[in-house]
Structure formats: structure tokens, C-alpha cells
Amino acid sequence: MNKKHKIAVVGLGYVGLPLARLFATKYQVVGFDINQNRIAELSNGIDTTLEVKDDILQSVLVKENPFNKQSGAKNGIFFSSDSESILNANVYIITVPTPVDKHNRPDLSPLYKASETVGKFLKENDIVIYESTVYPGVTEEECVPVLEKISSLKFNKEFYVGYSPERINPGDKEHTVEKILKVTSGSTPEIGKIVDDLYKSVITAGTHLAPTIKVAEASKVIENSQRDLNIAFMNELAKIFSLMDIDTHDVLEAAGTKWNFLKFKPGLVGGHCIGVDPFYLAQKAQEIGYYSELILAARRLNDSMGSFVAAQVIKLMIKKDIKIKDARILNLGITFKENCPDIRNSKAIDVIQNLEEYGARVVTYDPWADQNEVNNEYKIHHLNSLNEIVGKFDAIILTVAHEEFLSIDFSTYLNEKALIYDVKGVLPKQKVDKRL
């Protein structure tokens, strides 16, 4: 157990890459991903997710697999789409997505496949650490059996596991991976200490060693569920205050003067964390005989906000005598959050699709999103540059608070009776017709 750590990171998305880069400053690391295009760009020192700056990534790149004795490589990271490249690792960190299916049921297939890949190369005393968000019990009850079956090794006798939930916040350049306190755990007390020491060696914010893997798993899934619940309350308030013709943001500003008021805002709740993880906890609760009321109610309420925003815009247009059918509407933003290129599970598409059902023609401008990805995922009219915006619009909706949007002169793009609807509440109040 005291041998030098050779770390393989399996999955190089928003979670895996920043972590792999950080470990590469002190250890030999191989970053593995089945996406060959992703590996090609990373091998050239380019991260299109923008989570790791190119110069920082390039500073830890090595050209040969550091696990190969003949390479002579020291610390650094080597990227590969060949699973054989992780053969000589002794610590495997799995950072693959944990989505839900079309029925909002947990989809563990990426975890199973990653576990199968790692299982092929497991050796005596190796440690497998999972970072993917799951419900309590997945690591030991779902993943470990796969590792045992593929490797023919005995759990907690010949190999061990740990769990350290990811806390990456995409697009956040202040709270980077090393600055966020890390929860750790292991399948035995001794392994827990080894896992904790491993993360502690690179996480400057420190670590918290949980008593069991299930505790660590539970801690992660409730983090996002808590945010989902709080935002759902704000969204319900927005619906209530809209009926009372009261500005929700004015109310929250006033209430926020109390020292212990929690400062959440209403909005569209998408992405691959807050909009997904609560389903994992609710599903597990149902399996053990408890039907979640609050968690699923919050999910339903937050998922209803796209249609609510669209209806609000249509009502405002009618009040201004703007013809709805074939009305031109400019939607600002298609990523799931501000200053981030990630379009997965974006709820801006709900607004767009609902407006199109009313007969409006929607054009979307988002300088952060990749046009090919948007077209493949959502099949909508998406522009990357202001210069591509032609003509004037009957309404403008700000659904994502990218910094670029805050300096736009909206009057340039508005028809005479047009309106502006601010979902995020970031534009000057006097310049918009309504805020969510």
C-alpha cells in the first residue's frame, strides 16, 4: 500500500480533466476517455470545455505513457483512448456521467462500462475511487460486483474502493477543484486514510474523511437536492407574486436584508447535477419503500418553469398588441448556465419549444455554445455572433446570464412595441418589461 501512486482517471469531462490535471502536478497520471476527438484535443493541450486553461494543461502534458518503465517520464499526464494505457495504474479514479433516462430513472450504464474497463486491469492491492454522483449504495452494491466479476479478485482482500464525490462547478474560475474541500471515504478504515491522504496532497482546501462510503455518497446527492428544493421555493414564489403583480426580485432583495435569509433566486434549473441528482435519491427511497414527496415536488415545479416563462412572454406580447403567430423572438442563451459552454440538459430549450408551439419564430444567440453540438442536440436556429443577428424582434428573452449579454444595446434589435423579459434578473430593472 505504500507504493508510489500511479493514477488513471477514467472520463475526461468537466470533472475528470481538472482533477487529472491537478494530480499530474505531483503524480504520474494517464487520462483515459473513449471519445477519440476529446483525446486528440487534450493531447494537443486544448480543452474545449474551458475548465482548464490551455497553458496550464500544456504545462503538465507528457508525450509518453508515464506508466511504461521505458518512458522515463516523471510526473505529468498522458491522454489516451486506448484502455491498455491504464494497465499499470494502481489507483483508478472513475469520473463518468450519471444521467437519467427519458423516464427520469437513474442510468448507471456509464458506471458499469467504466467498471468493466477498470476490472480488466485490476491487480492486487489496487484502489478504485468513484467520483460520479450516485445514490447511497451504488459503489459497493452495483460497481464492486462488476469489478469482482471482471477481475476475478476479492473485494477488500485483493482490491479496494473509495468514494470522493465531485464538487466541480462548471464555468466557476474562483472555486476550482483544489480550492473546494473534498469529501473522501474508503471501503476499510485503512483505505479511507490512504484515499484521504491522496486527495489531501493536492487539495489545498483540505478534506473531510467520511466514516463510510455510503455516507459520502449520501452527502453528495443531498447537496444538489438541497439547492433544487430552495430554488423550487423561489420559483413557486415567482408564480405567486406574478399573479399579484409583484416583482419577485424586489421581494427577495427586501427579505435578504435579514441576516439568516437564504439568498436563492428563481430560474431555470438544468444541467447534469441539480436537475438530475435528486432523481437518484428519490429512486433509491422508492426502492426501500418510501415515496419522496418534497424532492419530487421540487423537481416537477422546477421542470415546469420553461412553459411558465413562455406563457409569461406571450401574455406580455398580447397586452402590447403584438401578433403571436410568426412573431420574431430573440432568445439569449442555450447553455445550462452562464459563462460555460455546456449545453447538457439546458432548460432554455423548454422556453424555446413552448414559444414555438404558440407559433412564434425563435432565434437563439449564444457565443459560448458550439453550433454543431446545439444543432445535433436540439435542432434549433442558433447563432454564435452578434453580427449574425439580422432584423428586429418582437421580444427578447434573456435565459442565460452570460457576461456578454450584459453590455448589449437591446434597442438595436427591438421593434417599436417589442418587450424584454429577463429570466435571470441581471439586467437593469428599468430596461426590462418583466423579470421572473
Q: What is the DSSP string of 229-242?
A: HHHHHHHHHHHHHH
Q: What is the pLDDT of residues 112-147, one digit of tens each?
A: 999 999 999 999 999 999 999 999 999 999 999 999
| Residue 234: inside a domain | no
Measuring CA to CA, how many Å separate 25 from each of 40, 50, 76, 166, 435?
A: 21, 19, 6, 19, 45
Three cell numbers at 3?
A: 507504493
| pLDDT of 102 over the 90 cut | no
Dihedral of alpha carbons 276, 283, 293, 182, sign: negative
pLDDT given for residue 3 in this prediction = 61
Average pLDDT over residues 201-221: 96
Same domain, 176 and 32: yes
Q: What is the pLDDT of residues 7-17, one digit of tens each?
A: 999 999 999 99
Measuring CA to CA, how many Å separate 247 from each of 30, 52, 393, 409, 435?
A: 52, 39, 25, 23, 7
| Residue 243: inside a domain | no
Instruction: State the total domains in the chain.
Output: 2
| pLDDT of 20 over the 90 cut | yes
Query: Alpha-carbon distance 242 to 256, whole Å?
Result: 19
Same domain, 403 and 293: yes
Same domain, 76 and 206: yes
pLDDT given for residue 158 in this prediction = 97
pLDDT given for residue 104 in this prediction = 87
Dihedral of alpha carbons 46, 47, 53, 57, sign: negative
Question: In which residue are the cell numbers 479496494 written?
Answer: 160
pLDDT given for residue 271 in this prediction = 83
| Residue 199: inside a domain | yes
pLDDT given for residue 405 in this prediction = 94
| Residue 238: inside a domain | no
Same domain, 202 and 331: no
Three cell numbers at 219?
A: 452527502
State the CATH number of the domain containing residue 301.
Answer: 3.40.50.720
Same domain, 142 and 96: yes
| pLDDT of 177 over the 60 cut | yes
CB 114 within 8 A of CB 65: no
Q: Cα 207–211–217 angle (5° rounding)?
A: 75
CB 61 within 8 A of CB 41: no
Neighbours of 167 (CB within 10 A): 17
* pLDDT-based confidence at residue 349 (cuts at 50, 70, 90): very high
How far does CA 217 lie from the centroid of its chain?
A: 17
Query: Alpha-carbon distance 130 to 140, whole Å?
Result: 10
Measuring CA to CA, how many Å separate 310 from each of 168, 208, 307?
A: 31, 43, 5
**What is the H or E stretch that residue 254 is in?**
helix 248-255
CB 217 within 8 A of CB 161: no
| Residue 302: inside a domain | yes
| Residue 217: inside a domain | no
* pLDDT-based confidence at residue 181 (cuts at 50, 70, 90): very high
Same domain, 174 and 280: no
Same domain, 409 and 276: yes
Query: Alpha-carbon distance 197 to 159, whole Å?
Result: 18
Structural domain boundaries enclosing 400: 248-435
Measuring CA to CA, how many Å separate 1 from each of 21, 90, 330?
A: 23, 10, 58
* pLDDT-based confidence at residue 72 (cuts at 50, 70, 90): low
pLDDT given for residue 190 in this prediction = 97
* pLDDT-based confidence at residue 273 (cuts at 50, 70, 90): confident
| Residue 227: inside a domain | no
* pLDDT-based confidence at residue 238 (cuts at 50, 70, 90): very high
Neighbours of 38 (CB within 10 A): 19
Three cell numbers at 335?
A: 447553455
Average pLDDT over residues 226-244: 96
Task: Give the chain's length.
Answer: 436
| pLDDT of 185 over the 80 cut | yes
Q: 294-303 vs 305-319: helix axis angle to the nearest 10?
A: 40
In one letter, which amino acid is 8?
A: A
Q: What is the pLDDT of residues 379-436, one digit of tens each?
A: 998 999 989 999 999 999 999 999 999 999 998 999 999 999 999 999 999 999 999 9
**Annotation says 273 is catalytic:** yes
Q: What is the pLDDT of residues 22-55, one digit of tens each?
A: 999 999 999 999 999 999 999 999 999 999 999 9
Same domain, 167 and 308: no
Same domain, 159 and 281: no
Question: In which residue are the cell numbers 430593472 written?
Answer: 429
Q: Which of 160, 190, 210 is the last residue of a domain?
A: 210
Q: What is the pLDDT of residues 291-319, one digit of tens each?
A: 999 999 999 999 999 999 999 999 999 99
CB 184 within 8 A of CB 164: yes
Same domain, 266 and 178: no
pLDDT given for residue 174 in this prediction = 82
* pLDDT-based confidence at residue 200 (cuts at 50, 70, 90): very high
* pLDDT-based confidence at residue 71 (cuts at 50, 70, 90): low
pLDDT given for residue 168 in this prediction = 83
Query: Alpha-carbon distance 275 to 346, whole Å?
Result: 9
Q: Which of 210, 226, 259 is the last residue of a domain?
A: 210
* pLDDT-based confidence at residue 95 (cuts at 50, 70, 90): very high
Exactly one of 129, 273, 310, 349 is catalytic; which is it? 273
Same domain, 145 and 261: no
Averaged pLDDT score across all residues of the chain: 94
Q: Around 218, how many Cα atoms within 13 Å sit in the side-chain half-sphere?
A: 10
| pLDDT of 57 over the 70 cut | yes
Query: Alpha-carbon distance 410 to 389, whole Å?
Result: 12
| Residue 280: inside a domain | yes
